[in-house]
Structure 1
Amino acid sequence: MADDRRSVLVLTNSRDVTADVVLRVLAERGVPTVRLDPGVDLHAGSSLTALHSTGGQHGTLRTPSRVLDLLRVRSVWVRRASPYEGPSELDAQERRFAAAQSLWGAGGMLASLPGAHYVNHPWANRAAEYKPVQLAAARRHGFRLPDTLITNELRAAQEFASGQDNGVVYKPLWNTAYEVDGEPHQVWVREVRAGELTAGVEVCPHLFQAKVDKAFDVRLTVVGERMFAIRIDSPDLDWRHRQDLMEAATVAVPEEVARAVMAYLGELRLVYSAFDFAVTAAGAWYFLECNPNGQWAWQPPETTDAITRAIADQLQRGSDT
């Protein structure tokens, strides 16, 4: 049985309103919580200390309002922490040095708290964010996959695009910050033709995927063994583009998909994940990707509330060991 005095540590930025929703539920339940954005707060009055010796391990997190024994952390929720960066008053070289030391030092301390339950462990998150890893794991566990090519070879990309009867879409391998004329610019999933592909493909690997003749999309959010699926009907290929135009409603998850989901999460050591599927008129679910730290509070109110409480349950429960 978890000690009710043990705290939940939430690693996220100060603007994360999604985390606020879960923190309110934990507060209602009387679960103590500590919020930390290590990439920012460790330069603004907070500190981390860890002592390792033959006799044991000790550690302390100090914030302007709390002192936390790191050996008594119940759970760690790895949400949306800021990147590790050095203090702004340092020159560029010193900032790079400080940022690297923070990542490997503070990041390592926060990833190695004995007995803590991670949702998700940061190293599991990072490994599961690679799309080639996702596709390989999905295939191993029996998901249907659209034919997918990842290449920096122009000829291979053109031949692949020419060979797909229903067309091909391009999607970035990582959601990288991008600007056009100084304004933030989102790279959406979009359809491409072989004749549009240029030598720009050779600059870096690109992901091309056979376009699924879908009837609708599904976002499946998983917390532990609990699944929350919504059907998304949108006029856009990428429903994220204009979310105000999409319609969402709960949908049942086929048993074979549910089994594959749990096997996938078990292999990649994930407690939480957000899966995206394209579903055909015949009812075939095609795996598109799985974001191990995907957003979820934009969903219908009843689904958002259920996910909120499922995450709070995980954090409150803590480790089984």
Structure 2
Amino acid sequence: MTVLVLTCEEDVTADAVVLQLRRRGVPVLRFDPADFPGRADLAVRVTPDGQVTGHLATPGGRVALEEIRSVWVRRPGTPGAHVSAEQRAWITLECERALWGALRATGARWMNDPDALERSRHKLWQLATAARAGLRVPDTLVTTDPDEAARFQKGYADAGSGLVVKSVSGRHPQNPPLTLPTAAVPPDADFTGVAACATCLQQRVPKRTDLRLTVVGDRYFPAYVTPRTPTLDWRFLPADASTWVAGEVDGALRAAVRRYLQEAQLAYAAFDFAIDERGDPWFLEANAGGQFLFAEIETGMPMTEAIAAWLAIRRE
């Protein structure tokens, strides 16, 4: 049975996992949905008794739908990328529903399920879910009301601490200009501009380090970062400006993370925690499509192997 990897053409992280799968002797088909239609073909039949058959034929090969054991949703493009602009909206809608519907109907295992992925992109949902799971969450306000923003800041100023501002969407630094690093809110901030766009303000955690906890199935890979200069957001530092070290996490954090993943219905996520001066972790984000190869290269933790092993499990 075949592992289907949905990603763009240039994805070195996917390259590493595909190599691991091939070393295991597991058939792999790498496919970018942006190639469909035109460069890739789909045929799917659902019979009156509910049997699903058909095939997906791509520039890299062909697979019977019933032979797909697992699907890794990595960095897929959008169907219809190669059709004319006048037709694109309709063709994209039709082909998205056809492709994702066919893959859902196969019964294959997902890393991660598309519906779970979509839900997990929402920061406010993440924070509420993390709190229910028992993770420590910073007080957060998302608003377009300047007065609410000013009151929120005053409450923390009176308490002797401050706020940070960050993106609600949480786009990665590699996606400019749709990205925003976490930044401190000055005491004399003018919140007038909040009215123009939803703005995320958050209690500032006095941290001593950051933890990137990558979870693959039931395997945990904690990596601690030490920037050479203090920073609120290590993601925007140059690659050589910080050092990553493999570490440990306690049982309580593991259990809370497991509860989060169960509610989120995720097989993979990269968690970001701020570790405060007492050593307590504060949940910042759980990225269901988060990068991991950079931490593996520095720490030697076998995350690529873990993903390949999870994808290689035969479906029941």
- Tell me the TM-score normalised to structure 1 length: 0.90
Aligned to 1:187: 180
Once residues 74 and 60 of structure 2 are traced to their aligned partners in structure 1, the CA distance between those partners, rounded to angstroms, is 21
Moved more, 299-308 or 29-38: 299-308
Q: CA RMSD in A?
A: 2.0
Contact 1:224 1:271 in 2 (8 A): yes
Once residues 22 and 105 of structure 1 are traced to their aligned partners in structure 2, the CA distance between those partners, rounded to angstroms, is 27
Contact 1:158 1:195 in 2 (8 A): no
Once residues 192 and 83 of structure 1 are traced to their aligned partners in structure 2, the CA distance between those partners, rounded to angstroms, is 37
- Tell me the TM-score normalised to structure 2 length: 0.91
Once residues 271 and 178 of structure 1 are traced to their aligned partners in structure 2, the CA distance between those partners, rounded to angstroms, is 24
* Alignment match of 1:123 (pick from 115, 118, 121): 115
Q: CA deviation at 1:203?
A: 2.5
Q: How does 1:82-101 map to 2 (within 5 A)?
A: 82-91=77-86, 94-101=87-94
* Alignment match of 1:297 (pick from 290, 293, 298): 293
- Residues 122-178 of structure 1: CA deviation (Å, up to 9, x unaligned): 111111111111111111111111111111111111111222232111111114599
* Alignment match of 1:209 (pick from 177, 180, 202): 202
Q: CA deviation at 1:87?
A: 3.1
Structure 1: runs of 5+ lacking an equivalent: 1-5
* Alignment match of 2:155 (pick from 148, 163, 166): 163
* Alignment match of 2:66 (pick from 51, 71, 77): 71
* Alignment match of 1:227 (pick from 197, 220, 228): 220
- Residues 44-80 of structure 1: CA deviation (Å, up to 9, x unaligned): 4211121112122212101235221111111111100
Contact 1:88 1:95 in 2 (8 A): yes
* Alignment match of 1:134 (pick from 107, 117, 126): 126
Once residues 73 and 52 of structure 2 are traced to their aligned partners in structure 1, the CA distance between those partners, rounded to angstroms, is 22
Aligned to 1:309: 305
* Alignment match of 1:271 (pick from 262, 267, 272): 267
Aligned to 1:15: 10
| Secondary structure of residue in 2 paired with 1:59 | strand
| Secondary structure of residue in 2 paired with 1:50 | strand
Q: CA deviation at 1:184?
A: 4.4
Contact 1:296 1:304 in 2 (8 A): no
Q: CA deviation at 1:89?
A: 2.8
Aligned to 1:260: 256
Contact 2:225 2:245 in 1 (8 A): yes
Q: CA deviation at 1:108?
A: 2.3
Count of residue pairs the alignment pairs up: 308
Aligned to 2:145: 153
- 1:166/1:318 CA distance change after superposition, 3 Å: farther
- Residues 167-198 of structure 1: CA deviation (Å, up to 9, x unaligned): 1111111145999xxx7474111111363343
Once residues 161 and 41 of structure 2 are traced to their aligned partners in structure 1, the CA distance between those partners, rounded to angstroms, is 55
Contact 2:173 2:236 in 1 (8 A): no
- 1:46 matched to 2:40? The reply is yes
Once residues 277 and 66 of structure 2 are traced to their aligned partners in structure 1, the CA distance between those partners, rounded to angstroms, is 52
Once residues 117 and 124 of structure 2 are traced to their aligned partners in structure 1, the CA distance between those partners, rounded to angstroms, is 14
- 1:172/1:100 CA distance change after superposition, 3 Å: same
Aligned to 1:174: 169
- 1:28/1:275 CA distance change after superposition, 3 Å: same
- 1:314/1:300 CA distance change after superposition, 3 Å: closer
